[in-house]
Amino acid sequence: MAPEHLVAVVGATGTGKSALALDLAEEVVRTGRSAEIIGADAMQLYRGMDIGTAKVPAGERRGIRHHLLDVLEVADEASVADYQAMARAAVDDVVARGGVPILVGGSGLYVSSVLYDFRFPPRDADVRARLEADLDRDGVARLAARLRALDPAAADAIGDANGRRIVRALEVMELTGEPFGSGLPDAEALWRPTVAVGLAAPRAELVARLDARVAEMWRRGIVDEVSSLLPRGLERGVTASRAIGYAQAIDQLHGRSSEPEAIERTAALTRRYARRQVGWFRRYPDVAWFPADIDGSAAATAHVLARLPRLG
């Protein structure tokens, strides 16, 4: 492998990707090279959204430089196209300085936008405005059903609750006359040579981890975190306000749900999201999969190091 290779760590939420990325970076440093981490989590882009996104605190990053954390305000709208440009620029910068870039995250489309030669389909403001009016009038369930009738593969990838992405899929299909799923990255050409590892856990084990993680979010104070973000425009944010855990904490703060209801709703959505992540990343053709435990992380680290160039 040549020095310009990109390392990617993928998998469902709750499998330990961030810890593995840090372990990898430290091992690379021990070989005499530098390593830096590029985040691929849509919600970790937002300043102040820490507890609900499981963002690694600055004091726990082991001296490893991280990119694409805390780059947006909560009122800003996240864009995959913008993210792709920022992430690839960060990768190029790390490589230019002789380092190993490690892409880590669970936002499937964000990861794919960096790994693959992925070009974004056209946009039309008038078509989007009409579809957004349909969303406001008919609700997300009706639009999700419309998408499922036209493109079941895209509906499976997006889910039934993400109105913004459902509108985007319908917009693209109307403009191109082709299924939106045909534009989703699968086994497409890589942007640059990549070694990718994934962490996976048995379903029952993963569900237990995720439920515990959601309960811990409330114990750590996600409701207080959300309360502090409301004056900064969280509810105005098209993307941030819909983040799993944050939307439910908003409902709790406004009295639209009790705390147990907010926790249970967040846990259910997290489990559903993890299922979609598993399906998304399993489509990647060249990922080496390892168990989401200590032994699996050690094996994944060894797998990557064996494929990186040696100094001298």
pLDDT of residue 2: 46
Question: pLDDT at residue 213 above 70?
Answer: yes
Contact between residue 201 and residue 15 where contact means Cβ atoms under 8 Å apart: yes
* Per-residue confidence (pLDDT) for residue 1, from 0 to 100: 43
* Span 287-309, average pLDDT: 95
Euclidean distance between CA atoms 11 and 159, whole angstroms: 18
How far is 304 from 197, CA to CA, in rounded Å? 8
pLDDT of residue 182: 53
Q: What is the pLDDT of residue 178?
A: 83
CA dist 182 and 185 (Å) reads 8
211 and 78 together in one domain: yes
pLDDT for the residue numbered 311 = 57
Same domain membership, residue 217 and residue 102? yes
Q: Which domain range does residue 236 map to? A: 6-118+186-306
* pLDDT at site 312: 46
Instruction: Judge whether 110 lies within some domain.
Output: yes
Q: Is residue 72 one of the residues assigned to a domain? A: yes
Report the C-alpha gap between 201 and 20 in whole angstroms.
Answer: 14
Q: Is residue 312 part of a domain?
A: no
Q: Which of 236, 231, 260 is nearest to 248 (CA)?
A: 260
Tens digit of each residue's pLDDT (9 = 90 or more) over 160-205: 988 988 999 999 999 888 887 655 554 468 899 999 999 999 999 9
Asked whether residue 114 falls in the same domain as residue 194, the answer is: yes
Here the CATH number for the domain that contains residue 270 is: 3.40.50.300
Cα separations in angstroms, 181 against 8, 16, 57, 76, 190: 23, 29, 36, 27, 18
Claim to verify: residue 138 and residue 236 sit in the same structural domain: no
Average predicted confidence (pLDDT) for the chain: 93
Number of domains in the chain: 2
Q: How confident is the model at residue 22 (pLDDT cuts 50, 70, 90)?
A: very high
Q: Are residues 69 and 201 in the same domain?
A: yes
Arithmetic mean of pLDDT, 214-227: 98
Contact present, 99 and 33 (Cβ < 8 Å): yes
311 is a domain residue: no
24 and 112 housed in the same domain:
yes
Find the Cα–Cα–Cα–Cα dihedral 131, 133, 139, 143, rounded to 10°.
-10
254 and 142: one domain? no
What average pLDDT does this structure show over 129-153?
94
**18 in any annotated domain:** yes
